[in-house]
Every structure is written in structure tokens, then in C-alpha cells.
């Protein structure tokens, strides 16, 4: 009977305690992370207190919870130094919200402003648990042989596949998002574990080492929470996170410095570290979070003097015991200070010292130089180097020579030049600025992604200025292995365009070699943002895309001034700005400086021709206001086309400016031959036959 009575007393007490508390939730901002603790301060006019430290809510990201007594309507959320605070108190506080008033029906406060200060604020809402993932009904990411499944907030996301795009350092899960408006400060991953390009993102496989991996990314101010199931993942992983970076490669990164299990103990060993005297601070993190990390205060390992060290750290999973040693294995390497001395600034002067690389193998200096020729020498610890030092260079245009006198650098482009000295080989390498991109048949592909195009550069993209407008042209780059034989659709959306959503063709249009649209602007711009460039070809139901492409005006393909032949060539239309290529540019006739010509032009009957004169991207047509030259059967074939800009071609010339030779065997104009011969004798005129007709040319004296 006594046991039953005690049970009811305990049950009554538990129910009474539950009725006297209320549960609150806090969603922290990125500024409130790592490594921190959180508590709730509740108060009224007469009483106050602190909650227990808040615990992270299972299956949620950055959401913590704690209970406070009922009856309080004003609270403060506070953030604490996790290495010092053992309970909520003002002395160990790092950050706090303003005074907050509880709102009826709402229990989740989300911090949106205030950084790490004392007036952080946000919004109240009702906490709703994230739906759980139905793993049994989620397909493998990349077919039946894959080891990965993905769900987003309880639903399967738009996963493309597992790949390694050209803009990613590693293979990973590739997916696309509504836009390229990333807020990377709100990502749960360090920058070393993902890559983005436009609206595409790759989460590296190396970040997915757990059986269940929860990841948060933020796009367009919206959190997307992914859970990735890895069939080969571990139930638990341990990493060492701390500082300085000379030990850990980065600072306080829970994905770096993974420990390995050896005979029941996790271990991390770092060898060959050159360290200065000082403290090494770290924690051991479980599953890449600070929720479970040891010790409560940082582990501090002191290095007594500078030198080369081996750092060994062990962690007992059962007892949470940590041991660390710093074993000196050699003396620190002391490298000479390298400086350049030359006429880089117009007078002979010394440069800043080269910066040593962490591996102590090289040191480098970057200088901004104008285009020109430079002379310089090198000093090591203030002493001139001997002549005859070997030099390497990364671009033939940045020529460096070593002789008996000063070294010389021919810089043919203005920009940043990096001088790198390699100590082991005693060589100097000079990297000169990258040449600017020019979008003149620029090889690229889908999302600039090798699996979809960049590896074999499936398309050639041209962005050509035409007045205030931009002509966008793409064609297949079959020379680089593209299996497609044509294109039938192009859609372009650009910021500030007056005809946004410029479109060529449709998914049902017949393929053609080149597709082009003109994107119109009210005025020329310094840079152009192409939000979307989408294209397709016959038989393909989807669209390839380049999204979020920003192009500087200097990167546009500029037309070269000169005369170009345009028209229909053997029945193939070539009238667009994109057709004003070097292959269609006329050259001066070497036999007549007033005449231009283009050889080996294939013409068919009923082809139409005209000449375009390009002057600073503006186009003038020849003949102005005239119909096109139409090819007849007597002028079809492979021809040399002649052009007179002055319009003084005379008889046989179309509008006195374009001349197409007639085919051999055409009827000869033999009329009035005797009269023409008499004129030759009387007037000193020379008659010539061209295209079966007799023409005169003056200035010949007959003796």
C-alpha cells in the first residue's frame, strides 16, 4: 500500500510541475553560433531567474528549447561563453536580445538582427516540428547502385545527380535552387564543403560522412534543410576544432581534422608543424556540432619554444578523456627575406618583403604594374643576388631575362603581377594578369558544368555589341566532341532590357547551326547581367542553361571595323551581326587600292548579297536604300567578289559598288566592235574583256 501511495504522489508532483512550466524555443542567427550556450532570463516586477541551458531540438537545425515557470510574460534570451558559463549569469554573457514580451499562441523566437550585441531582435511564431523523412519511399540519388538518399524538410528535393562540375573542387550532390541569392553566413557547412555557381550547388561527399547528415543552406532568405542518408556513413565521427590555423589548417572547423579510431581510442596526429611558442586551444566535436563537444572549457596545450613539432591528440569515447602532447622534432626553418629593387614606380626603389608560404618552400609578392618595360634586381636579407639566377614564367608575354646586368620584365598588359621565389631550386616565377574574357565564340556549356558541357565546351557563346543592344548568339561547338548537330531555341532574360525574354524559335522549330536574339537596352551599360540564357535542340524536351552571368562591357565581342559580305550563300542565310566574321571580311585588292575583294565565295542562283561597313559597332549598308544584289545563273559558282566603296565601278557593277564575275563561256558582246577599235586608235583608249563584255579604260598612250 505504501508503494502505491508513493507512486500517486510522484505522478501528482510530475503533473503539477508540468502545469507550472512553459516551453519556449529559440532559433539562433549565424552570429550566435560556435561555441555557445543559451539560456532564458525571466522576470517581473518582483522576481526573476534563469532557465537551465537550452538544448538543441532533435531533427531541427539551430533551434534550442528550455522551460521557464508560468506566470512570466517578459523574457530575455542570452548567449554565453561555453568555456566559462556553468549556469545562466550576466558575467559570462556574450550577447542578448532586447526585452521580449511573450505573444499568445506563439512559442518560437527567431533572431533576425543585432549581430552579437546586446539589442538583438527578431520575430515570434509557433514552433512546428520539421516533417520527418520517409526513407523507405525515397529513391537513391543516382540509381540503384548509389549509397545516398536525400530529403528536404521531409520532402524529396530536386536532386540532379552526383557529379563534379568544373567549378567544384570535389564530387558531391548537385542540385539547383530558385535563384543565385545565397546567404552563405546562414549555411551549416564551412565553405570548404560546398561550391555554388549561379543557382547550382554541390554539397561535397566528404561532408556526408555520417549515416544521417543534416545540412542547412539559405537561398533568397529561405532556409532549405536537407537530410542526406549515407548507407556507408558512420553513426558517430569526431573532429578536433581549434586554433591556431598553423596546427589545424583552419580555425574552429568541426568538419576538419577528423580523428581515426585505433584500439578503442580516437586519435589525431599532425607532423612537421613549424610553431612559435604559445598556446594551442581546441575541443573534440561529435558529428560536426558543438552540441556534444569536449571538454566544457577549451583544452589548452602549451608549446614552450619555437621549432618543428608533432602534435598528438587522443580522445576516449567512453570516458571523454582527452590527452595531447607536443613533441619537438627539429628547429624552425629561417628563410632569407626576399625583396625586389627596380624601376617599378618610376624610380629605382625597394619593394615590400615577399610573404612566406606556410610550407616554407616559396615566398611571393604581388605588384600592380602598368604596361611597360621594367628593370629590377633581387636582394636576400639585404644582399644582392648573383647574376645568372634561373627564371621561369607562366606566360610568354611576361618575358623575364637574366643576364650580366639587371633583370628585365616586359609587361604587355596592365594589372597584378605575382613574383614567386622557390628556395629549393632558386628560381623566380612571374605570373602576369589573366587576359580579359572576350565573348566571341566563347566555349562554355550548361551551368558552366563539365558533365553538361564545359568539359567538351558544347556551345560557343557570342555576346556582341550593336549600338546600345547586345546580340546573343550560340552555336554548337562540334569541334570539341559535341554530338548535337543543331539548335532550335534560344531564350534570354537580362536585367534592364527593354525587350526582356527575347526568344528565337521554339522546341518544335527545325534545327539550325546558329541561333541568335537581340537584347535591347535604352542605353549602353558598364556591365550586363544575363539572368538566363537557355537553349535547346530538336528531340530534346528540356533546356540547357547559363544562369546569372555578369559580363563587363569590355568583355563583349567587338566588331572589327571594315567591310563584310553578307547575304544568302548557296541558299544559307547569313545576314546577322553574328555573321560579320573574319571569314566574310573583304580585303584591299592588291592590284587596286580603291577596291576591296573576297575570294572563294560560293554562290547559287537566287542568292542575295550586300556589303556591310562596320564603324565602331555601327553598320552602314551598300548600296544604301537599294535592293539586294540577286545572283543569276550566269554568276553562280565559286567567285571572287569585288567592292568599290566610292561607288565608281561603272558599267557591269551593281549600283557601281558590287561586282560579281560572270561565268566562263557566257555570250561575248561583239556589237560595235569596229567602232570601238577605231576609238582605240584615235583616242588612245584600251579595250579589255571582262565577263564576255568589252569595257574601256582610259590613260593608255599608243605609239
CATH number at residue 269: 2.60.40.10
pLDDT digits (tens, 9 = 90+) for 297-334: 899 999 999 999 999 999 999 899 999 999 999 988 77
Answer yes or no: is 592 within a domain: yes
Distance CA 498, CA 238 (A): 56
3-state secondary structure labels for all residues of 464-500: EEECCEEEEEEEECHHHCCCCCCECEEEEEECCCCCC
- Report pLDDT digits (tens) over 370-394: 888 888 888 888 777 644 344 433 3
Residue 146 and residue 75 share a domain:
no
Spatial contact of 634 and 622, defined as CB atoms under 8 Å apart: no
CA-CA distance, 81 to 296, in Å (whole number)? 10
pLDDT digits (tens, 9 = 90+) for 461-500: 999 888 889 999 998 887 666 666 788 899 999 999 999 8
Q: What does the pLDDT read at residue 450?
A: 52
Return the higher-pLDDT residue of 598 and 381.
598
Mean pLDDT of 179-185: 88
pLDDT for the residue numbered 157:
84
Domain extent, residue 265, equals 238-330
- Looking at the structure, do residues 142 and 202 belong to the same domain, yes or no? yes
Task: State the total domains in the chain.
Answer: 7
pLDDT of the residue at 621: 86
Domain annotation covers residue 3 = no
Same domain, 120 and 29: yes
Quick one: 424 and 376 in the same domain?
Answer: yes
Q: Is the pLDDT of residue 547 over 60?
A: yes
C-alpha cell at 387: 647574376
The Cα–Cα gap between 159 and 202 comes to: 10
φ and ψ at 326, to 5 degrees?
A: -125, 110
Q: Tell me the chain's radius of gyration from C-alpha atoms.
A: 38
Mean pLDDT calculated for residue range 530-549: 84
User: From CA 55, how far away is CA 57, in angstroms rounded?
Assistant: 6
**Smallest Cα–Cα separation from 371: which of 421, 417, 428?**
417
* Residue of 433, 427, 363, 366 whose CA lies nearest to 395: 433
Are both 415 and 455 inside the same structural domain?
A: no
Q: Which of 252-256, 308-312, 625-629, 638-642 has the lowest mean pLDDT?
A: 625-629
Residue 33 resides in a domain: yes
The pLDDT of residue 412:
76
Judged by average pLDDT, the poorest of 133-137, 344-348, 380-384, 390-394 is 390-394
Q: What angle do CA 560, 563, 568 make, to 5 degrees?
A: 110
Average pLDDT over residues 571-599: 88
Which of 370, 373, 368, 374 is closest to 343 using CA atoms?
374
- Same domain, yes or no: 453 and 531: yes
Cα 568 to Cα 653: distance, rounded to the nearest angstrom: 19
pLDDT given at position 533: 92
- Domain boundary at 555, 571, 605, which? 555
Instruction: Examine the domain organization and report whether 164 and 214 are in the same domain.
Output: yes
In a domain, 144, yes or no: yes
106 and 160, same domain (yes or no): no
Domain boundary among 373, 405, 431: 431
- Comparing CA positions, the residue from 653, 663, 672, 649 lying closest to residue 691 is 663
Percent share of the chain, pLDDT over 90: 43
Q: Both 299 and 243 in a single domain?
A: yes
By three-state DSSP, how is residue 645 classified? coil
Half-sphere exposure of 211 (CA within 13 A, CB side): 4
In a domain, 463, yes or no: yes
Whether 436 maps to a domain, the answer reads: no
Locate 558 and state its grid cell.
567587338
Domain CATH number, residue 52: 2.60.40
User: Domain holding 417: CATH number?
Assistant: 2.60.40.3620
Residues 492 and 539 in one domain: yes
Give yes or no for residue 278 having a pLDDT over 90: yes
Same domain, residue pair 691 and 612: no
How high is the pLDDT of residue 355?
86
Nearest CA-CA partner of 389 in 379, 398, 381, 360: 379
Which domain-ending residue is among 269, 296, 330? Answer: 330
**Averaged over 122-146, what is the pLDDT?**
86
In a domain, 7, yes or no: no
Pairing of strands 608-615, 618-622: antiparallel
pLDDT, mean over the chain: 83
What are the backbone dihedrals phi and psi of residue 562, each rounded to the nearest 5 degrees, phi first? 150, -175
> Do both 83 and 159 map to the same domain?
no
pLDDT tens-digit map of 62-110: 899 999 999 999 999 999 987 788 899 999 899 999 999 999 999 999 9
Q: Tell me if 130 is assigned to some domain.
A: no
Measured between alpha carbons, how far is 165 from 367 in angstroms, rounded to an integer?
32
Amino acid at each position: 500500500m505504501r508503494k502505491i501511495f508513493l507512486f500517486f504522489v510522484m505522478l501528482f508532483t510530475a503533473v503539477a510541475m508540468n502545469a507550472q512550466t512553459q516551453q519556449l524555443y529559440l532559433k539562433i542567427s549565424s552570429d550566435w553560433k560556435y561555441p555557445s550556450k543559451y539560456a532564458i532570463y525571466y522576470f517581473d516586477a518582483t522576481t526573476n531567474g534563469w532557465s537551465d541551458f537550452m538544448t538543441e531540438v532533435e531533427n531541427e537545425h539551430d533551434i534550442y528549447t528550455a522551460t521557464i515557470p508560468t506566470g512570466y510574460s517578459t523574457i530575455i534570451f542570452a548567449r554565453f561563453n561555453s568555456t566559462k558559463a556553468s549556469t545562466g549569469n550576466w558575467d559570462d554573457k556574450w550577447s542578448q536580445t532586447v526585452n521580449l514580451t511573450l505573444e499568445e499562441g506563439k512559442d518560437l523566437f527567431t533572431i533576425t538582427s543585432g549581430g552579437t550585441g546586446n539589442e538583438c531582435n527578431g520575430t515570434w511564431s509557433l514552433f512546428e516540428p520539421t516533417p520527418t523523412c520517409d526513407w523507405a519511399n525515397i529513391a537513391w540519388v543516382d540509381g540503384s547502385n548509389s549509397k545516398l538518399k536525400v530529403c528536404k524538410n521531409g520532402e524529396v528535393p530536386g536532386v540532379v545527380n552526383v557529379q563534379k562540375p568544373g567549378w567544384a573542387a570535389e564530387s558531391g550532390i548537385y542540385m539547383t535552387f530558385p535563384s543565385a541569392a545565397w546567404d552563405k553566413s546562414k549555411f551549416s557547412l564551412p565553405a570548404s564543403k560546398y561550391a555554388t555557381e549561379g543557382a547550382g550547388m554541390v554539397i561535397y561527399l566528404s561532408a556526408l560522412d555520417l549515416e544521417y547528415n543534416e545540412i542547412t543552406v539559405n537561398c533568397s532568405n529561405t532556409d532549405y534543410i536537407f537530410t542526406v542518408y549515407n548507407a556507408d556513413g558512420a553513426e558517430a565521427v569526431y573532429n578536433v576544432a581549434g586554433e591556431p590555423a598553423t596546427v589545424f589548417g583552419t580555425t574552429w572547423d568541426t568538419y576538419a581534422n577528423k580523428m581515426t579510431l585505433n584500439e578503442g581510442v580516437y586519435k589525431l596526429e599532425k607532423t612537421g608543424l613549424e610553431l612559435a611558442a604559445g598556446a594551442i586551444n581546441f575541443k573534440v566535436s561529435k558529428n560536426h556540432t558543438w552540441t556534444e563537444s569536449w571538454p566544457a572549457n577549451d583544452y589548452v596545450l602549451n608549446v614552450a619554444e619555437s621549432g618543428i613539432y608533432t602534435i598528438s591528440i587522443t580522445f576516449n569515447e567512453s570516458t571523454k578523456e582527452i590527452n595531447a602532447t607536443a613533441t619537438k622534432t627539429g628547429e624552425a626553418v629561417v628563410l632569407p627575406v626576399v625583396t625586389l629593387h627596380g624601376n617599378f614606380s618610376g624610380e629605382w626603389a625597394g619593394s615590400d618583403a615577399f610573404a612566406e608560404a606556410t610550407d616554407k618552400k616559396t615566398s611571393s609578392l604581388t605588384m600592380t604594374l602598368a604596361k611597360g618595360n621594367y628593370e629590377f634586381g633581387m636582394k636576400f636579407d639585404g644582399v644582392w643576388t648573383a647574376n645568372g639566377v634561373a627564371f621561369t614564367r607562366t606566360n610568354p608575354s611576361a618575358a623575364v631575362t637574366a643576364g650580366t646586368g639587371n633583370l628585365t620584365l616586359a609587361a604587355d598588359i596592365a594589372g597584378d603581377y605575382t613574383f614567386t621565389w622557390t628556395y629549393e631550386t632558386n628560381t623566380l616565377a612571374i605570373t602576369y594578369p589573366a587576359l580579359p574574357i572576350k565573348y566571341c565564340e566563347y566555349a562554355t556549356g550548361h551551368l558552366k558544368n563539365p558533365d553538361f558541357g564545359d568539359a567538351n565546351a558544347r556551345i560557343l557563346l557570342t555576346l556582341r555589341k550593336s549600338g546600345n543592344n547586345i546580340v546573343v548568339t550560340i552555336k554548337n561547338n562540334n569541334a570539341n566532341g559535341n554530338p548535337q548537330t543543331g539548335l532550335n531555341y534560344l531564350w534570354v532574360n537580362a536585367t534592364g532590357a527593354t525587350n526582356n525574354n527575347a526568344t528565337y524559335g521554339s522546341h518544335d522549330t527545325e534545327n539550325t547551326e546558329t541561333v541568335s536574339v537581340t537584347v535591347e537596352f535604352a542605353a549602353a551599360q558598364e556591365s550586363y547581367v544575363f539572368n538566363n540564357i537557355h537553349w535547346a535542340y530538336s528531340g530534346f524536351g528540356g533546356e540547357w542553361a547559363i544562369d546569372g552571368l555578369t559580363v563587363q562591357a569590355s568583355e563583349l565581342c567587338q566588331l572589327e571595323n571594315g567591310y563584310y559580305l553578307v547575304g544568302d550563300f548557296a541558299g544559307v542565310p547569313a545576314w546577322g551581326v553574328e555573321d560579320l566574321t573574319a571569314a566574310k571580311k573583304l580585303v584591299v585588292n592588291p592590284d587596286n587600292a580603291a577596291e576591296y575583294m573576297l575570294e572563294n565565295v560560293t554562290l547559287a542562283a537566287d542568292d542575295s548579297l550586300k556589303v556591310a561597313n562596320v564603324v565602331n559597332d555601327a553598320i552602314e549598308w551598300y548600296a544604301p536604300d537599294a535592293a539586294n544584289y540577286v545572283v543569276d545563273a550566269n554568276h553562280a559558282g565559286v567567285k571572287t567578289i569585288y567592292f568599290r566603296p566610292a561607288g565608281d565601278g561603272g558599267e557591269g557593277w551593281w549600283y557601281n559598288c558590287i561586282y560579281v564575275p560572270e561565268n566562263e563561256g557566257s555570250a561575248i558582246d561583239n556589237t560595235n566592235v569596229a567602232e570601238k577599235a577605231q576609238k582605240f586608235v584615235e583616242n588612245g583608249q584600251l579595250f579589255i574583256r571582262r565577263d564576255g563584255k568589252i569595257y574601256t579604260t582610259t590613260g593608255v598612250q599608243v605609239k
